[in-house]
Amino acid sequence: MFTFTKVELGVNNLRKRKKWPIYLFSLILAVILIYAGYSFVSSNNDQPLRPTPSANEQSHDNGELTSPTATGTNQPATEQPNASTTPQQTNTPEQEFTQHINQQIQKLSIQQKIGQLLIIGIEDDNAKVSKQTAQLITEQAVGNIILFKRNINSNAQVSSLIQNLKNLPQKGSIPLWISIDQEGGKVNRLPQKFPSAQHWAELDDTEATKLAGQQMGEALSELSIDIDFAPVLDINNNADNPVIGSRAFGSDAESVVKHSMAMLDGLNDYVVTVGKHFPGHGDTNVDSHYSLPVIQKSWDDLERLELIPFREAIKQGVDAIMVGHLYLPQIDEQYPASLSSIIIKQYLREELGFEGVVISDDLVMGGITEHYDIGEAAVLALQAGNTMLIVGHEPKQQQAVIQALVEAVEQGTLEEELIDRNVARILRLKLGKASLGEE
């Protein structure tokens, strides 16, 4: 048995008290060394890697890497704090195009927006732009002109007139567009003579029809004409029809579809195409230029014949559709097709799925002016779903339309949001096909 004296116990306790600071110091030193080692390893192995430049990134002359930002501009790329940071997203071309259109619309006054919705006829018959026409474009902001035979004497004259029109000041980058009814046959505005639709249907060679469309489109493009109100999609199935006749590609759906689509294919390489006259002007015995034709058919009746070419044209990508001044009481008892939201919104837009530009036939036609004040008709036409309105004649009537539309927006009868949507559709077509003839 061992025993310790008080002296010995005191010595042992003293030794223990002298050792504990050494143990504590050693522990702290060990912790420091472990932490330093961990930090060193992490700095070499866990550092986020700099991303490799993608195909759409650019390197400036100073060597700084640039990356597209959300607005599409290039800014110097910055190091990300850690690998989990979400990279910046870039706009798609479609998003940038939509953004550009919206920016253009925001710059326009009510008058300028209304001007984009109108296609106005002018009286000029030489190369010089008249004062009245210049005022329409520069002061009243009309964005589209339609040419008739009265405006065209020769290729040289009309070419100069068009260039002088397009050289007039425009708002922003929105081009002035020139339109025309160039079908061939009895609706032939150009100095060159082109055969009628009936001629191509009787020849029954779709390659020849397409070539004719290309030649006509090229002739229009060379004159800087942007829109052709063609092809005619009406089926000439009424022998007493005074207005369609040889303008149609036949009296049956098969012939009309075959040759109107060939013509559409040829024209589409050069100009904006407009199928007409929705929902079908073939089975009438009245000319809508002078009075309002009445068609006693239901929608189901039209589906079996008249609508077949329109469905095909929509499928083939026609840019625009013109709505005729046609009264179909079994579909809409109150309004003619050109002023009918049932026919335009419910059937053309929803049923047929057409998303392009809808254009009214000329409002200065008996089918409208016999029954409506033209300013009232213009407001109704936009409310019904038309995107653009043709007012081809009579300067007083044109001024009445402009005034009525501006007042309707200011008074809230026409919502500015509706106007903006129409302008957006037009700019999408204008800015998307601005150099079509050069492609």
Catalytic residues: 289, 361
* 3 state DSSP class of 7: helix
Among residues 118, 145, 116, the alpha carbon closest in space to that of 130 is found at 145
- Give 146-149 contacts, CB < 8 A, sequence gap 24+: 146/119, 146/120, 146/121, 146/178, 146/179, 146/180, 146/181, 146/390, 146/392, 147/121, 147/122, 147/178, 147/179, 147/180, 147/189, 147/225, 148/121, 148/181, 148/189, 148/392, 149/189
Return the bridge partners of 320, or none: 274, 357
Residues 186-207 as b/e (b if ≥16 CB within 10 A, e otherwise) read: ebbbbeeebbbbbbbbeeeeee
Scanning 130-205, the segments in alpha helix (DSSP H) are: 131-138, 155-166, 197-203
End-to-end CA distance of the chain: 113
